[in-house]
Amino acid sequence: MSTVARVKRISIPQIRNRKGAEPLVCLTAYTTQMARRLDPHVDLLLVGDSLGMVVYGFDSTLPVTLDMMIAHGAAVMRGAEHACVIVDLPFGSYQESPEQAFRSAARIMAETGASGVKLEGGAEMAETVRFLTQRCIPVCGHVGLMPQAVNVAGGFKATGRSEEEARQVMRDAQAVAEAGAFAVVLEGTLEPVAAEITAALPVPTIGIGASAACDGQILVSEDVFGLFSDFTPRFVKRYADLGGQISQAAEAYAQDVRARRFPGREHCFLPKGASRTGS
């Protein structure tokens, strides 16, 4: 019998109980290998519908399908042992009705093994959040700048700039929290508004472009590591330039192949007894 102890995964109640405590560390992941690299260092991995832009090259998150989210969610679960894994409900998979949302969320939970789902929307989605949580599906809310509403908003714009916008974001955050969300993502929200919402909510706020006042932070991993160079939001801090390193490595590889420096004898399968250093 194996004596190797299994790592205990961070649970939804543990995430919820971090309100006002040590900040939650969250990043996105879409693949098994990325999940393995991030897992020891984060509390929560989000399989975000941002994969539509980062992985598939779409202009927005709107073309992402439920099947895409399930495939990537399952891949991340194969690479994560420690972090709580949450999967986005993509556009069109939950807005029609609470029943539609339940069917979509139930598929994600059953086919990926993830701990919960995230959905965008405020007061108008409170009934859906309540419907899901009452049926044993943990929900993370998402208010403020909502990428799935990019066409209504007229682009990716920060919110909370006017008193009415600030009040609306507060109402939205409170509505989904009261409906049972275990945490709420605040995206693109002005710092004073994010701080006020964080102080008012009984559950953790997870900021992305919403200041250090939040109970945790999340960023798109490819932005953090310099792997997505099309556009870098102002709220992102790059901790590496892996994209540049990949380009340099590809250039060096191409030069070696064209000059017949690669593969060398040390990379080849040779007859028994043949020298790997000889000519």
Do 78 and 207 sit in the same domain of this protein? yes
pLDDT tens for each residue of 237-254 = 999 999 999 999 999 999
Over residues 10-15, mean pLDDT: 98
Q: Please give the pLDDT value at position 155.
A: 60
Find all residues with CB under 8 Å of 149, minimum gap 6, and list them: 120
Our answer to whether residue 266 is catalytic in this structure is no
Q: Count of domains in the chain? A: 2
Q: Transcribe 210-262 into DSSP letters.
A: S-TTSSEEEE-HHHHTT---S---TT------HHHHHHHHHHHHHHHHHTT-S
Do 23 and 145 sit in the same domain of this protein? yes
Angle at 119 between CA 118 and CA 123, to 5 degrees: 130
CA of residue 110 relative to chain centroid, distance: 19
Q: Please give the pLDDT value at position 153.
A: 64
Cα-based torsion angle of the residue sequence 135, 35, 186, 104 in order, rounded to the nearest 10 degrees: -30
Do 225 and 246 sit in the same domain of this protein? no
CATH number at residue 199: 3.20.20.60
- C-alpha span between 28 and 48 (Å, rounded): 6
Examine the pLDDT at 69 and tell me if it is beyond 90: yes
Over residues 214-218, mean pLDDT: 98
In a domain, 4, yes or no: no
Over residues 219-223, mean pLDDT: 96
Do 114 and 213 sit in the same domain of this protein? yes
**223 marked ligand binding residue:** no
Do 248 and 219 sit in the same domain of this protein? no
* Residues 198, 167 contacting (CB under 8 angstroms): no
**118 marked ligand binding residue:** yes
Catalytic hit among 99, 124, 187, 191:
187
Tokens of 45: 């991995």
Range of the domain at 171: 12-240
Q: Please give the pLDDT value at position 235.
A: 87
Q: Please give the pLDDT value at position 117.
A: 98
pLDDT band at 6 (very low <50, low <70, confident <90, very high): low
Do 270 and 142 sit in the same domain of this protein? no
pTM higher than 0.85: yes
**88 marked ligand binding residue:** yes
